[in-house]
Structure 1
Amino acid sequence: MNFSGDAIDWDKGDGLVPAIVQHGITGRVLMLGYMNAAALAATQATGFVTFYSRSRQCLWTKGETSGNKLELADIELD
């Protein structure tokens, strides 16, 4: 998947943008997290959704401890 983050205005939210995760088949919203450019790059590189944790101030891959990872199917920009 070749999605460029160039179209994203990273300056608006101090380098963070909301990222909505939806079920790949049903479209049901599963969660809302925040991404910075590094989280987007990690998501694309690994194929698993990575967020930026505002409370811990670091990257966080959903399911890294529980095993319930979110596998990337597609990225769309609103």
Structure 2
Amino acid sequence: MSWLDAVKWNEQGLVAAIAQDAEDGRVLMMAWMNLEALKATLARGEAVYWSRSRGRLWHKGESSGHVQRVRDIALDCDGDTVLLQVEQRGGVACHTGRRSCFYRHLDDQAWREGEPVLKDPARTYAGKNDE
């Protein structure tokens, strides 16, 4: 049995992928992977996801330079979520210029932005597609 046989792909052939900072455990982002993306991630040692909006593979950092160097890949008990332990290059994982995509926090039934923008996305993605 191949290691890929343990992955439970959804109806679209995708599996959820969580990127977590390997140093401090902070969840940086969630994205999707298909079979090709997961294989490419293992081969490159850098995160490669499936972009549903673009309908193609997306090497994290291809336009921003914010590459995710993969230190470990884990599969959850149900086989339907992959956890990537990563080194986040440039300290920014979110296309909004923040460290994490999870920067909005529920406070008194309203979403509050709790993290600063570290890098201006207009300068990071000037003339490029957002990640």
Q: TM-score, normalised by structure 2?
A: 0.55
1:43 shift after superposition: 0.4
Say whether residues 1:75 and 2:73 are aligned partners. Answer: yes
**Separation in 1 of the partners of 2:73 and 2:38?**
10
Moved over 6 A (4+): none
Tell me which residue corresponds to 2:85. Answer: none
* Higher Rg of the two aligned structures: 2
Q: TM-score, normalised by structure 1?
A: 0.90
Tell me which residue corresponds to 2:34. Answer: 36
Tell me which residue corresponds to 1:4. Answer: 3
1:4 shift after superposition: 2.3
Flag the structure with higher strand content: 2
Q: Secondary structure at the match of 2:42?
A: helix
Which blocks of at least 5 consecutive residues in structure 1 are unaligned?
Answer: none
**Separation in 2 of the partners of 1:61 and 1:13?**
23
Offset from partner CA, 1:11-50 (integer Å, 9 cap, x none): x242011100000011100000000000000101111100
Tell me the matched-pair count. 75
1:59 shift after superposition: 0.1
Tell me which residue corresponds to 1:58. Answer: 56
Quote the RMSD (CA, aligned, Å). Answer: 1.3
